[in-house]
Structure 1
Amino acid sequence: MDIRQLARGTIEWSRLERVVRTLADRYGRDVVRVEFLEADNWLSTPCVIDEEWFVKIVSRQNALVHALLTTGRNVGAFSSGTVGLFDRFDTPRQMVEHEFEATRRMREIGVNAPRPIEAFEVNGLGVLVLEYLPEFSTLEEMPDEDVADLAPDLFEMLSTMHDHELAHGDLRAENILRRDDELYFIDATKVHEDRIADTAAYDLACAMAVLEPRIGARDAVTAAATEYDAETLLAAREFLDFVRLRPDHEFDSTLLRSELEKAADLGRG
């Protein structure tokens, strides 16, 4: 069994069936078609309903795993010289309500994200309903030349969030989608609201770590420098070792650090 599936756990079919029936009742459908997805994540059981709604079902075990991951991330942030950046959730409902609100805020400020429909609880399970985006690809599935073309858009979206005192907190390739040649952000996590400068630098480090293996350190930093000043680039540099410890980021931190320092020197020159 895959470690992520083991950590995520299995929700009893009777409880899943109750969620689906609740959704059918809420949306006035006698019958719905459900497709459960083999998503590579730890924190929910995802499914698509009637090819119209993307639904995340969150259990107490998912909330516990999130709390453990949050503790690990905060330890990593502390090792980078920064007090913990991330907040935990105590219940499945809190998890889905946060993602609903984060997605709503992203759209409100002009950042592409799936339209949030509702978040609620059924029999102890958190349920998040978003619009289903058909025919999308993740950044890790895109050709390198497309990644290079869209890199400036990624940093523009990210800087828009930071300008509005929002942070993503979990930026990785599978959380960046492309549909109709536009990028979308999904799966924003919970960060301390009073640490926007640090969380912005962390987001920026994650974005460059995602791009470096695909388009090279120099081009990744050049794209970032179109939106961020020298001070912020150097702040992101301090998070590279922390980001490198994450299993979902594989990149050359030495090259990226060098290019960041060069770009910062030029920006201050």
Structure 2
Amino acid sequence: MAFRRFLRGSVPWEHLEGVTRAVMERYDEPSARVTFLDADNWLSTPFVVNDRWFVKVITQQNSLVHGLLTRGRNLGAFSSGTEGFFEHFGTPYEMAQHELAATERMRDLGIDAPEPVEAFEYEGMGVLVLSYLRDFETLDDLPRESIERHTPTVFRDLHRMHEHGLAHGDFRCENVLVADDEVYFIDATSVREDAIADARAYDLACALGALEPLVGAPLAVDAASAVYDASELLAAEEFLDFVNLRPDHDFDAAAIRGAVEKRALDNDVV
């Protein structure tokens, strides 16, 4: 537990107060009510100002942890027979800028995401500001019937990213929010553009792995196959074991393989 606390780190209270004052000044807020989110996040400290501004504070320690995670994930990609495709940025401010740009790109593609506001630097920290979604739930907190209803939208939006040369890079149900019955993507990370095909297959493997425990492999694969062809599903299959090593994924890889291979056989791909 001590090691986990070290990795997660903390932001001194006076720095959080300073960031809050900066937000108040930038957006003409006469006072601030700050709500800290119950999030197990090693890459930032998130909080909400006046139920309007979602703020992520990224420290140098968060950047260090991101670099360690990036190297570990790239080693895992090597074990799957591909080059590493995750990218790391040198400073907390660059991390904030990247997430802002990724959020803007998703919205430009017609994918629902919180409205990006800005990224700025404060005392060597990166600060990302987005609009705050009120009354949201993460995908995995919904009843099964609601998850089943939203699953086709999840794969449709992921496929739209992939069609336009964008990969999410960190698909987890915690990064899919549902507010007012609409699906929103958050926390996109960075992948190397020259390895985008592998990154897309990894994204798809993550999505199948995240949804299999919630809706079952057949339904997840059927929903994916509405927008991905059998060869793309088979490419994702190559990353299932790698994805299942992640502590935030736990799924029946054999069940997904069976459903994917059945779909491929039905389409005479294998």
Q: Which runs of 4+ in 1 moved over 6 A?
A: none
What's the CA shift for 1:186? Answer: 0.3
For 1:29 and 1:139, the matched residues in 2 are separated by 32
Q: Is the 1:113–1:186 contact (alpha carbons within 8 Å) kept by the matching residues of 2?
A: yes
Unaligned runs of 5+ in 2: none
SS of residue matched to 1:194? helix
Aligned to 2:8: 8
What displacement does 1:89 show?
1.4
> Is the CA contact 1:240–1:253 (under 8 Å) kept in the aligned structure 2?
yes
Root-mean-square deviation over aligned CA pairs: 1.2
Structure 2 CA distance for partners of 1:38 and 1:5, relative to 1, 3 Å: farther
Alignment of 1:1-269 (within 5 A): 4-268=4-268
Are the aligned partners of 1:171 and 1:206 in contact in 2 as well (CA < 8 Å)? Answer: yes
**Paired residue total:** 269
Q: Deviation per CA, 1:1-41, whole angstroms, max 9, x where unpaired? A: 57654312111111111111111111122321111222111
Between the two proteins, what is the percent identity of the paired residues? 56
1: CA distance between counterparts of 2:137 and 2:246?
Answer: 22
Q: 1:94 to 1:174 in 2, by over 3 A?
A: same
Give the deviation of 1:206 after TM superposition: 0.4
1:122-152 Cα shifts (integer Å, max 9, x gaps): 0101000000000000011011111111111
| Distance change >3 Å, CA 9–CA 157, structure 1 → 2 | same
CA distance in 1, matches of 2:183, 2:111: 9
Q: List alignment gaps of at least 5 residues for structure 1.
A: none
Aligned equivalents of 2:75, 2:121: Cα separation in 1: 31
SS at match of 2:267: helix
Per-residue CA distance 1:188-211 (angstroms, 9 max, x = gap) = 011011222111111000001011
Cα distance in 1 for residues equivalent to 2:189 and 2:255: 28
TM-score normalized by structure 1?
0.97
CA deviation vs aligned residue, 1:49-86 (integer Å, no higher than 9, x gap): 01001000000000000000001100001000010010
Letter in 1 for 2:142: M
